[in-house]
Amino acid sequence: MATFMDVHHGMVGITEDELRQAHEADVAIQAEEGVTFVNAWADPATGTVYCLSEAPSADAVQHVHQRTGHPADEIHEVPLQV
């Protein structure tokens, strides 16, 4: 498994409910792709959302996000953490 930070752009004005619903939709199917979404942070002003996950691959992360209707714009493996 590896740690990934994926980034969504274009979610200007995202609300707390919308963020929670999107996260819960991902969590509902994540096991099918071997992914575990750990945290998500959102900046409604610029529409930027960051999702931290543990997954076998970046593709697996994107598969979950695609299936729930909000594909990531960037997916970074982040092997280093402090």
Q: Is 82 one of the binding residues for a copy of itself (CB under 8 A)?
A: yes
**Comparison of 53 and 63: residue with beta carbon closer to a copy of itself:** 53
Q: What are phi and psi of 31, to 5 degrees?
A: -60, -30
Quick one: which of 73, 70, 33 has its CA closest to 54? 33
Q: Which of residues 30-59 bind a copy of itself (CB under 8 A)?
A: 39-46, 48, 50, 52
Q: Is 69 one of the binding residues for a copy of itself (CB under 8 A)?
A: no
CA-CA distance, 29 to 11, in Å (whole number)?
Answer: 22
The DSSP bridge pattern shows strands 48-55 and 74-77 to be unpaired
Binding residues for a copy of itself, rule: CB under 8 A, are 3, 5, 14-16, 19-20, 23, 39-46, 48, 50, 52, 76-82
